[in-house]
Amino acid sequence: MSVPRILVVDDQAINVQLLRLKLEREGMQVLTAPSGREALAQANNARPDLILMDLLMPDMDGLTACRQLKADPATRDIPVIFLTASPSKEHRQEGRAAGAADYLVKPIDLDETMARVRLHLRLARLERETAELAPRLDETRRGALVGAAAQGVTHHLNNLLGVVLGYAELVRTVSDDPEKVRRHIQNVDDSLQKVIQLVRQLSTVAARARPGPTPTTVGCLLAGAVARFHADHRPGAPVTIETDCPDLTVPTHREAIEDALARILDNGWDAYPADATERPLRLEARRLARPGGADQVEFRVLDRGRGVDPAIQDRVFEPFVGTKDQPASGLGLTIARHAVRALGGEISVTPQAGGGTITVFTHPLTLRTRPS
């Protein structure tokens, strides 16, 4: 992570020196300017991550400088925190109207200043990441193999982004209450991390090259699926493998099958209570004889988790389906179904006798792919 660059603007040298020492001690790079006019030049040349600016200065005051910063597309996203000797509501309203993110009352409390600086640096970073999500989602929608899931994905992302923006606005309105600020910024962070995780998941699917089918043994597919499950989802989680046809060769898109199995395994892992000390998972494969030589391989993932709520049994492959007692599982099964169907197979999820679920999908031994 790059070192934050802070521009301190004040015509009082002692204030500049105190803030410089504190900020540099906290590992930040400090730039200085004695007036609003010089602050504009510094902001355009050095592009600081945040500006601490005195409200009343000769030559050009803080309000005028802030308005000009916000009017310039190159600098309008830089957070400005005003330093003022007056705690009046009128000054606060003037500052916010000019585009300031926050204000601090002199004499400056250096510890509070650092807390506000870190908060607004973090908030600015979150807002930048949020702004980057829209074009990434468009790119993902064009290339991802999620087909009919797009509508559900978009709805879920819009809801999460609404939460992010709502909490960001709350942060601005309660800046006088550090505890509320911390709580709201944590909510922003939690929601945005969910968005980022989802977009990265979709981007991975969109970017994945799909080569032609290659002959792969069932044993290699099972081992590869577990390795991918460990690498992408749950490092070291125990999985029992069982097959009566480890050397059977299957013409397939190996990466697609391994990814689908890994997602199903992860879904099975999530089916257990959060405090479960053991989470047994089984991954099985067998050859199924079919009339006319259309034999198949049947892959099965078994867990002993909470099972599937009957209320969502018929919609288990839809994105983000859940109930009050069974949280939404995201896109794992949705993406797995599209991959399996694209390879000419079918997939189902049914209750397991004694508790848990069995997820079964078939794969033809003569590959005839079809649209997902």
In which band, very low, low, confident or very high, does the pLDDT at 182 lie, cut at 50, 70 and 90?
confident
Two structure tokens written together for 93: 């309203």
Closest by Cα among 135, 210, 197, 134 to 372:
210
Q: Give pLDDT, residue 274.
A: 83
Higher confidence at residue 188 or residue 199? Answer: 188
| pTM score over 0.85 | no
Indicate the helix (H) or strand (E) that contains 34: none
* Phi, psi angles (nearest 5°) of residue 272: -85, 155
The percentage of residues in the chain with a pLDDT greater than 90, rounded to a whole number, is 40
Q: Give pLDDT, residue 59.
A: 83
305 CB-side CA count, 13 A:
25
> Would you give the DSSP letter of residue 210?
-
Kindly state the average pLDDT of the residues 137-148: 47
Kindly state the average pLDDT of the residues 4-13: 94
Closest by Cα among 100, 12, 114, 3 to 48:
3
pLDDT digits (tens, 9 = 90+) for 87-112: 677 777 888 889 998 888 888 889 88
Q: Give pLDDT, residue 298.
A: 95
Helices (H) and strands (E) in the chain, counts: 10, 12
Higher confidence at residue 355 or residue 142? Answer: 355
How many CB atoms are located within 10 Å of the residue 294 CB? 12
Query: Does the pLDDT at position 325 exceed 70?
Result: no
Segments in 99-149 forming alpha helices (H): 110-143
Kindly state the average pLDDT of the residues 138-149: 47
Q: Give pLDDT, residue 148.
A: 43
User: How far is it, in rounded angstroms, from Cα 113 to Cα 106?
Assistant: 11
Q: Give pLDDT, residue 199.
A: 63
Higher confidence at residue 229 or residue 311? Answer: 229
User: How far is it, in rounded angstroms, from Cα 363 to Cα 216?
Assistant: 12
Query: Does the pLDDT at position 149 exceed 60?
Result: no
Two structure tokens written together for 233: 């989802």
Two structure tokens written together for 113: 């200043």
Q: Is the peptide bond before 319 cis (omega within 30 degrees of 0)?
A: no
Two structure tokens written together for 219: 């044993």
Query: Does the pLDDT at position 282 exceed 90?
Result: yes
Closest by Cα among 256, 288, 263, 284 to 364:
288
Higher confidence at residue 139 or residue 254? Answer: 254
Q: What mean pLDDT value characterizes the chain?
A: 81
C-alpha dihedral, 236 to 241 to 247 to 251, nearest 10°:
-70
Contacts of 182 by beta carbon, 8 Å cutoff, 6+ apart: 119
Query: Does the pLDDT at position 356 exceed 60?
Result: yes
Q: Give pLDDT, residue 144.
A: 44
Q: Give pLDDT, residue 141.
A: 45
The CA–CA distances, whole Å, from 77 to 71, 92, 125, 224, 295 equal 10, 19, 10, 46, 61
In which band, very low, low, confident or very high, does the pLDDT at 155 lie, cut at 50, 70 and 90?
low
